[in-house]
Amino acid sequence: MFKSVLATEISSFLDMRFHTMSKKTYEYDVYTMTFVDKYLFENCQSKTLTEEIINSLICSFYGSSKTVMNKVAIIRSFVKYLNTAGNPSFLPYSPKVKSNYIPYIYSDKEMKQIFYYADNLPVKSPSRAHPYLSIMMPMLLRILYGCGTRLEETLSLQRKDIDFGKNTIFLKTAKFSKERLIPVHETLSNILKRYCLRIGIMDKPDEFLFPSQISGQHFSRRQALTWFDNILKSANIAQSEDGKKKRGACIHSLRHVFVVNSMLQLEKLGHSVDVNDLLLPTYLGHQCLIDTDKYMRFSGLNHPEFEKNFNDFTNGIIPKLEVHYYEE
């Protein structure tokens, strides 16, 4: 299939990726590496990829800035593979992609308000409401805030996906069909345990963590968004949007807060991790670096002291939860 001087290495690299990537991501890897092989076949006779060859290869990429970024990320992974295998090659930098996307980051004050109103959720018609609504929304928000998970993958969690012994959550219905196991802070794990006992699912592995009133289904995305909007209104937090690239306050903003909190924890420990290490992107379930980079764009008005640290962030440190959750 491959014809270049690195044909064997490319095949081995793709075989390794096959076992760690989703089908869609793997197919894109094959597409990109086929292009790379063709370029090397025509322009390179050495197994050592020099800076000149790598830069020339990258310059031959075409498409949007995001497309180029994705391809460079694959090239970086391939070069790291070559270096590990004993073929010293030049590791290119990840190009910065210009984007006007500005995620909304809740301030500490806003987060306290959100949890306060979530814990005191007003139910207008108790007889018609979900019997566990008053504790489901507080639990849902704590997972989103403490783990940085997406709404859909969190709502679809089942009791068997939570390992209280190891303090982990297994996300099996994640975006891009990428399953992943994430660590959970002990504080959140204890809250989850009390929650499962409260709604009676501790010994029911197939039950949804956030069950719907309809048997066999989980709480819907629309229901969660509606109740979260009510919480934001009660907390007097604006939900306005300024164009397509600027997202106002929303439930997904909790994921942004997780990234920033992780960065802050790392800064406090005196460590710095380059975005290219792929640790936080892996934790978040991102396919490429650009998907994580956009989460690092936050308002300097809210966090001026960290505006200069966009590219140095956490390797998976879980922010400590300092929120209160009531006992039965």
* pLDDT tens sequence across 205-256: 999 999 988 777 899 999 899 999 999 999 999 875 554 445 678 898 898 8
Evaluate whether 252 touches 295 at the Cβ level (below 8 Å): no
Q: Does residue 17 sit in the same domain as residue 122?
A: no
**Residue 301 predicted with pLDDT over 70:** no
Range of the domain at 197: 99-328
Is 89 a domain residue?
no
228 and 114 in a common domain: yes
Q: Is residue 93 part of a domain?
A: no
CATH number at residue 71: 1.10.150
The 3-class SS string of 268-308 reads: HCCCCCEHHHCHHHHHHCCCCHHHHHHHHCCCCCCCHHHHH
Please compute the mean of the pLDDT values over residues 133-158 and round it to a whole number.
Answer: 92
Portion of the chain with pLDDT greater than 70, in percent: 71
Are 54 and 191 contained in the same domain? no
Query: Of the ranges 29-33, 87-91, 315-319, which one carries the lowest mean pLDDT score?
Result: 315-319
> How many folded domains does the chain comprise?
2
Q: In what order do the strands lie in the sheet with 168-171?
A: 162-163, 168-171, 180-183
pLDDT of residue 100: 58
Give the mean pLDDT of 1-29: 89
CATH of the domain at 293: 1.10.443.10
Domain endpoint, select from 52, 84, 116: 84
pTM: 0.58
Residue 228 belongs to some domain of the structure = yes
Indicate if 153 and 218 belong to the same structural domain: yes
